[in-house]
Structure 1
Amino acid sequence: MAMFVTEKLKSFSWVNVGNPDHEDFEKLQTEYKIDEDTISDILDPDEQPRIEVEDDYKVIIVRFPIINRETDTLWHTEPLSIIYSTSRVITVCRKRCDLLDKIKKDEKTTREEFILNIIYYIAESYLRFLKELNKRVLESKQALLERVRRRNLLALLEVENSYTLYMAGIKGNVAVLDKLEKMRGFVKSEDAEDLLEDARIELAQATEVVTSYSKMLKSIKETFESVINMDSNMYVNRLTMWSIILAVPTVVVGFYGMNMKLPFAEYEQTASTILIAIMILLLGFAMFNLMRRRVV
């Protein structure tokens, strides 16, 4: 459902556009004078974090984590476009950005502090989502310890994709913060400096967490891959062993089916005796293997 909300603050107005439709984009172009190229960038789901300076406004693009409610996965990230001018801040997201509802606003908040506050909450959300992803890794690990299932291995692969996308988004947001810090006149109050430093700390922590969780996930995957390879080798060895054993009666029966004189061929019970002997040997071999597995 589309959302187009305008909120008036003391020093600027905030226009929050979520899940926009064609009419919303037309309104951005006609009423707020946002050019077509900027609209095209907003529509691109793969747009990377960056800053662009236009004639009448500046554009800050950052990426934030979002839950894909259709598939209940957490690997998805979306770009959030922050378009600001002297008296206005416009936030535009292809999907609804729930974290914007948590942004603190008061009469003393400046435009720059408001933007840095958004980036801070995005950095904080990465840590929250990473903790949730780690819970899923531990759940899949526990399930794999009980029984190796395909869906649990695919769940680990999905989380690995999440870590890759999160790391890319975090690094891009850090680069945006670096540019904002160097931008003349953007960080001009002590509160803005504190917000920028807090956002930088949160992003640094998120980077460390992603790196740590990625190493742990890699170790888990390698361990279970080794277990799967060992099981596969064991099954191949068993099949090879049984094929050799079953080849013995085939050879014996083949010999006695030839038109030539063979030992004990004149006795009627020879075939049944040989068959019973082979069955006893196979049964004894099977019991021996079963007892050995129980001991191990």
Structure 2
Amino acid sequence: MITAYKHNIHQDIHTTSLDEGLWINMIEPSREEVEKLIEDFNIPEDFLKDPLDADESARVEFDDETGYSLIIIDIPIVNKNNHKILSFMTIPLGIVIGHGRLITVCDHDVDFLEHFTKPGNNLHYRSQLALNILVTVSNHYNRNLRLLNKSRLRIERDLKKSVTNKQLYNLMEVEKSLVYFLAALKGNEDVFKRLFKLPPIKRFEEDEDLIEDLFVETNQAIETTELHTRILESITTSYESLLSNDMNTIMKTLTLFTVFLTLPTLVFSFFGMNVPLPINDHSPVSWIVTLCISLVLVTVVFILLWRRGKL
């Protein structure tokens, strides 16, 4: 879907034709729509097709022949394939600037772009609009990090009650989201540092606050992601140790039961191999003596293990 926007006489933003659009928003465009835009505005083919590739890396690029610039950054979206717990993934968002217009390209519905159709945004200042989009993306990372942290805390509370595979799986999904975030934020940070080397991206004095916000929000998101990742690694290591310790305790208990059950079996087996019973083979007291021998052996082994701290 392609939607073009411009200002009316009251400076409100409304939809218009592609030729008059100051901002063209392409969300999940068809192949025909992409080809039409490439042909109508002489935009480099890879500038519109690369952002639609989920594996495309963040970068900035300038085409000397056409005069268009391309900014590709990664944005966070909810992973809808996982219905059990809130998790995220990242996809590319392309911003093409040149010839008096700004074009955003994404293969997924981006809710926060709707904010830029409201009054107060000026589509004539393309560099400022691009900066506002980038700052909003960084803000979304920080907001989603807070949601992930809430999920982590809830999982931790459940883990304190009982450790189950489901809870560990949920913890793994949170950790996976953080890995996506960290890789995307590092790539975005590199893009922001090279951003103003492009000819169409001009740096104005009134945009300095936006630029500062952009780097502050991005650095905060990176630091928060790294912190949450370290916390999750620590939690995972701790629970691995706990599970290992519980397994050792269980194996130790089973081994002790095996030892204590084996001793009477040895005694009874010994007297069961045509060996004369104590006192008399026909005496009713003989089986009591045999039982006492077994209990003595068990008691001796118990005392030895207790003194060595094995119990």
TM interval, short-chain normalised: 0.7 to 0.9
**Structure 2 matches for 1:2-151, cutoff 5 A?**
3-9=1-7, 13-54=22-63, 55-56=65-66, 57-72=68-83, 73-103=86-116, 106-107=121-122, 109-151=124-166
Residue 274 of structure 2 aligns to a residue in which SS?
coil
Contact 1:52 1:60 in 2 (8 A): yes
Unaligned runs of 5+ in 2: 12-19, 299-311
- Residue 302 of structure 2 is matched in structure 1 by none
Contact 2:95 2:103 in 1 (8 A): yes
Q: Give the stretch that moved more between structures: 128-137 or 183-192.
A: 183-192
Contact 2:69 2:198 in 1 (8 A): no
Residue 66 of structure 1 aligns to a residue in which SS?
strand
Distance 1:254 1:192, change over 3 A: same
Contact 1:180 1:187 in 2 (8 A): no
Per-residue CA distance 1:32-51 (angstroms, 9 max, x = gap) = 33444334422321211101
Root-mean-square deviation (CA), in Å? Answer: 2.8
Contact 2:22 2:123 in 1 (8 A): no
> Partner letter of residue 171 of structure 2?
L
Q: What is the alpha-carbon distance in structure 2 between the residues aligned to residue 93 and residue 277 of structure 1?
A: 82
Residue 88 of structure 2 aligns to a residue in which SS?
coil
C-alpha displacement of 1:267: 3.4
Unaligned runs of 5+ in 1: 283-296
C-alpha displacement of 1:159: 1.5
Q: Residue 276 of structure 2: which of 254, 261, 286 is its match?
A: 261
Contact 2:152 2:174 in 1 (8 A): yes
Q: Give the stretch that moved more between structures: 16-25 or 5-14.
A: 5-14
* TM-score normalised to structure 2 length: 0.81
Q: What is the alpha-carbon distance in structure 2 between the residues aligned to residue 155 and residue 131 of structure 1?
A: 16
- Residue 286 of structure 1 is matched in structure 2 by none
C-alpha displacement of 1:211: 1.8
> Partner letter of residue 272 of structure 2?
G
Q: Is it true that 1:181 corresponds to 2:179 in the alignment?
A: no
Number of residue-to-residue matches in the alignment: 282
Q: Give the stretch that moved more between structures: 195-204 or 125-134.
A: 195-204
Q: What is the alpha-carbon distance in structure 2 between the residues aligned to residue 51 and residue 36 of structure 1?
A: 15
Q: What is the alpha-carbon distance in structure 2 between the residues aligned to residue 97 and residue 32 of structure 1?
A: 24
Q: Residue 221 of structure 2: which of 201, 206, 210 is its match?
A: 206
C-alpha displacement of 1:264: 4.3
